[in-house]
């Protein structure tokens, strides 16, 4: 598409303009030949950890914006998470063109959001079905509250889940858990009744929306033409995590001569692509012709050299813009059955010796699997797997008001949405519902807003939430007054036990307060007082740490034992076997988080003496625990 062609001169003009806006010359942005080539082309790219992919994406979007605007065309950027979307927006929003990129005719958002907005929701409304809430958790909770005792017992005996009761995203057939065929049994009929009630109320699973999106395309051929005309450049970020059915839909929409489609990601970090048992994409993760970007700004050359053997794609040794500090003790802790519980303490002692920043988010210990029997909790029995989710929901309203909860998230829209979700949780705890025809249902953010406007209370409600965003945690006296006002606006009885518990006050993060008890993370505190966060590898995807400890865990086999030859470079060539490739990708993600110190922990019996020798020759320190 000639009108959107980017030249070296365009890049030079952008860099000159961008760098002139910086407060200090040391912050100046530069692009080497590899990064310029990505901006100039629409080739699919394999970008290694810490390669500056988001910066490249932001620069390309800002350069394209002027060309798109003059041609009256739009750009579409598809991400997998709101965090990724916000990261891209944060890179462009300070530039004059950045705001325009977030407005019509452009779109920057998640794949789910795109599918729902442009395809599935319009289709459902055309069939007189009004989607009120698209949320897997809410759908499961609604149906779980409606099934009979007999049905609940049936599902338990079949080891089936109510979450499986939904429209299949490919066939469009209703999947009834525990049944392969239509049945006249009471449990089958009860499940169908519950399913119909859910959809009638407008509750849908995320995956169901893909089927409705496909129906929209099949029944309205002009929809595809309209989207292609509007979005002339489409970029898919973190493409390695795209599942096959998502990839198929994206290709059906945008794989054509009229659209510039570019995909960026790293198949070596594909640890989410088969979540839920879905097939991974083939057009990207199985593509051996991806343009490699294998130079990193995150970690030094010594870490780059140590993790290159974990690459499933065989991208080769990563290059680094950072020289290695002298004699950094990247350590493999080898424990026994008895000393396994001492590993975290030894890691903290090493952090103390190196004087690494004593904040829990700066150093983390991560493993592949949770639970019991060769899992994370064997290193630390106090580990709580319920706190390991990437974006846990506050257990108390004060947690959402506390600035500590937001941590790295400064976007006001995120903060407002978090508070609104907590208000909806408060309504549920107070038993407050809305009536829709013959049914009652829980409020959604939209329906609550409409209700408050009708009652003339919306401005006061919005002002209360805004004050929490702007001012953070109030005094206890003010908090109690604000909660009284909130309960009055919502019509909730404040004497209800669950409501009173949800509105409990606490202003600090001391060991004995309620927030620490409810906490959002698993924080291990060493004898010296150092704190490290413990979690799963999946929970730290996309993060950067000062130091990372990778814990050996078991999923039929022990991951570090299985890959010890790759770490010691006694085993070369392609990594074969599905399980071994899965382990390699997980360890690659975990080991590429730190910018300073990388450590691992494995059982002494599972790392043989000859392998230990080779590990030491490749710069590892072996420490017996």
DSSP string for residues in 199-266:
HHTTEE-HHHHHHHHHHHHHH-HHHHHHHHHHEEEEEESSGGG-BHHHHHHHHHHH-STTSEEEEEE-
Inside any domain, residue 187: yes
**Residue 306 assigned to a binding site:** no
pLDDT at position 59 over 80: yes
Helix (H) or strand (E) holding 319: strand 319-320
CB 405 within 8 A of CB 511: no
Instruction: Report whether 50 belongs to an annotated binding site.
Output: yes
Given a cut of 90, is residue 335 above it in pLDDT?
yes
pLDDT digits (tens, 9 = 90+) for 186-203: 999 999 999 999 999 999
Lowest mean pLDDT among 248-262, 310-324, 597-611: 310-324
Distance from the Cα of residue 521 to its chain's centroid: 16
Is 542 labelled a binding residue?
no
> Is 211 within the bounds of a domain?
no
Does residue 558 lie in a domain region? yes
pLDDT digit string (tens) for 249-296?
Answer: 999 999 999 999 999 999 999 988 666 667 889 899 999 899 999 999
Q: What is the pLDDT of residues 509-546, one digit of tens each?
A: 433 333 333 345 789 999 999 999 999 998 888 889 99
pLDDT of residue 213: 97
pLDDT for the residue numbered 512? 35
Enclosing H/E stretch for 624: strand 621-624
Give pLDDT, residue 518.
Answer: 38
53 is in an annotated binding site: yes
Residue 314 φ/ψ region, left for φ over 0, alpha for ψ in the -120 to 50 degree band, beta for the rest = left
Q: Across 256-306, where does the E strand assignment appear?
A: 260-265, 291-293, 295-296
- For tokens 């338990």, the residue is 156
Burial of 386 (0-12, 13-18, 19+ CB in 10 A): exposed
pLDDT at 425: 86
| 260, two tokens | 């510039």
Which residue did the predictor score with more confidence, 460 or 514? 460
Asked if residue 404 has pLDDT above 60, the reply is no
Residue 126: inside a domain, yes or no? Answer: no
What CA–CA distance (Å, rounded) separates 310 from 180?
A: 41
- Confirm whether 589 is domain-assigned: yes
Q: Is 47 annotated as a binding residue?
A: yes
pLDDT score of 597 more than 50: yes
Domain end point (choices 275, 293, 311): 293
Look up the domain containing 171 and give its range. Answer: 133-201
Q: Is 51 annotated as a binding residue?
A: yes
**Domain with 585 in it: what CATH number?**
3.40.50.300
Q: Is 79 annotated as a binding residue?
A: no
The arithmetic mean of pLDDT across residues 476-498, rounded, is: 86
583 part of a folded domain: yes
Residue 181: band (very low, low, confident or very high) from pLDDT cuts 50, 70, 90? very high
pLDDT for the residue 226: 96
How many structural domains compose the chain?
4
- Could you tell me which residue, 75 or 516, shows the higher pLDDT? 75
Residue 40 or 276, more confident? 40
End-to-end CA distance of the chain: 61
| pLDDT score of 194 | 96
**Same domain assignment for residues 285 and 338:** no
Asked, for residue 207, whether it belongs to a domain, the answer is no
Global pTM reads 0.77
What is the average pLDDT across 19-36?
Answer: 88
437 marked as binding residue: no
Question: Considering the domain boundaries, does residue 121 fall inside one?
Answer: no
Q: Whose structure tokens read 């998502």?
A: 246
Instruction: Give the mean pLDDT of 383-410.
Output: 64
The percent of residues above 70 in pLDDT, for the chain, comes to 91
The pLDDT assigned to 477 comes to 85
Confidence at residue 438, expressed as pLDDT on a 0 to 100 scale: 67
For residue 553, the model assigns a pLDDT of 94
386 and 402 part of one domain: no
282 compared with 603, residue with greater pLDDT? 603
CB 337 within 8 A of CB 331: no
Mean pLDDT of 436-455: 80
Per-residue pLDDT at 437 exceeds 80: no
Q: What is the pLDDT of residue 519?
A: 47
């Amino acid at each position: 598409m000639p009108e959107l062609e980017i030249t070296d001169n365009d890049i030079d003009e952008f860099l000159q303009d961008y760098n002139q806006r910086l407060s200090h010359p040391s912050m100046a942005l530069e692009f080497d030949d590899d990064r310029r080539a990505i901006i100039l082309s629409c080739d699919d790219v394999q970008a290694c950890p810490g390669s500056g992919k988001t910066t490249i994406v932001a620069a390309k979007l800002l350069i394209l914006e002027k060309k798109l605007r003059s041609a009256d065309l739009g750009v579409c950027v598809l991400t997998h998470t709101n965090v990724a979307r916000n990261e891209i927006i944060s890179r462009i929003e300070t530039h004059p063109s950045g705001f325009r990129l977030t407005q019509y005719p452009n779109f920057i958002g998640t794949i789910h959001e795109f599918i729902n907005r442009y395809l599935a929701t319009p289709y459902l409304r055309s069939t007189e079905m009004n989607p009120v809430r698209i949320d897997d958790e809410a759908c499961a909770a609604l149906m779980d509250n409606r099934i009979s005792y007999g049905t609940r017992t049936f599902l338990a005996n079949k080891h089936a889940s109510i979450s499986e009761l939904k429209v299949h995203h490919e066939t469009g057939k209703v999947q009834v858990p525990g049944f392969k065929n239509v049945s006249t049994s009471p449990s089958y009929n009860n499940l169908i009744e519950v399913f119909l009630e859910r959809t009638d109320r407008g509750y849908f699973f995320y995956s169901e929306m893909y089927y409705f999106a496909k129906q929209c395309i099949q029944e309205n051929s002009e929809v595809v033409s309209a989207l292609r005309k509007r979005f002339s450049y489409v970029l898919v970020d973190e493409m390695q995590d795209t599942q096959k059915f998502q990839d198929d839909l994206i290709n059906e929409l945008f794989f054509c001569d009229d659209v510039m489609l570019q995909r960026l990601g790293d198949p070596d970090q594909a640890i989410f692509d088969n979540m839920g048992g879905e097939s991974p994409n083939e057009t990207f993760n199985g593509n051996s012709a991806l343009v490699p970007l294998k130079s990193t700004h995150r970690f030094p050359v010594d870490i780059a050299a140590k993790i290159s053997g974990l690459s499933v794609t065989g991208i080769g040794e990563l290059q680094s813009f950072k020289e290695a500090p002298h004699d950094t003790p990247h350590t493999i802790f080898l424990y026994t059955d008895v000393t396994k519980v001492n590993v975290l303490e030894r890691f903290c002692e090493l952090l103390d010796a190196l004087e690494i920043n004593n904040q829990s988010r700066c150093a983390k210990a991560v493993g592949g699997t949770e639970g019991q029997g060769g899992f994370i909790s064997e290193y630390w029995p106090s580990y709580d797997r319920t706190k390991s989710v990437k974006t846990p929901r506050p257990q108390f309203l004060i947690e959402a008001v506390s600035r500590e909860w937001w941590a790295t998230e400064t976007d006001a829209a995120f903060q407002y949405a978090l508070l609104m979700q907590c208000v909806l949780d408060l309504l549920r705890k107070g038993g407050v519902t809305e009536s829709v025809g013959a049914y009652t249902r829980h409020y959604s953010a939209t329906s609550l807003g409409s209700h408050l406007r009708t009652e003339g209370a919306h401005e006061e409600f919005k002002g209360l939430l805004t004050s929490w965003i702007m001012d953070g945690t109030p005094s206890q006296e003010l908090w109690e007054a604000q909660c009284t006002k909130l309960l009055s606006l919502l019509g909730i009885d404040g004497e209800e036990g669950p409501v009173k518990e949800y509105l409990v006050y606490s202003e600090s993060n001391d060991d004995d307060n309620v927030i620490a008890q409810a906490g959002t993370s698993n924080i291990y505190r060493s004898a010296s007082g150092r704190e490290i966060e413990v979690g799963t590898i999946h929970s730290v995807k996309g993060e950067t740490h000062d130091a990372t400890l990778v814990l050996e865990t078991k999923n039929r086999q022990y991951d570090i034992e299985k890959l010890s030859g790759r770490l010691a470079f006694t085993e070369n060539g392609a990594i074969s076997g599905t399980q071994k490739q899965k382990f390699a990708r997980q360890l690659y993600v975990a080991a590429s988080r730190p910018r300073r110190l990388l450590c691992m922990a494995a059982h002494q019996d599972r790392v043989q003496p000859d392998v230990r020798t080779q590990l030491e020759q490749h710069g590892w320190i072996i420490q017996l625990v």
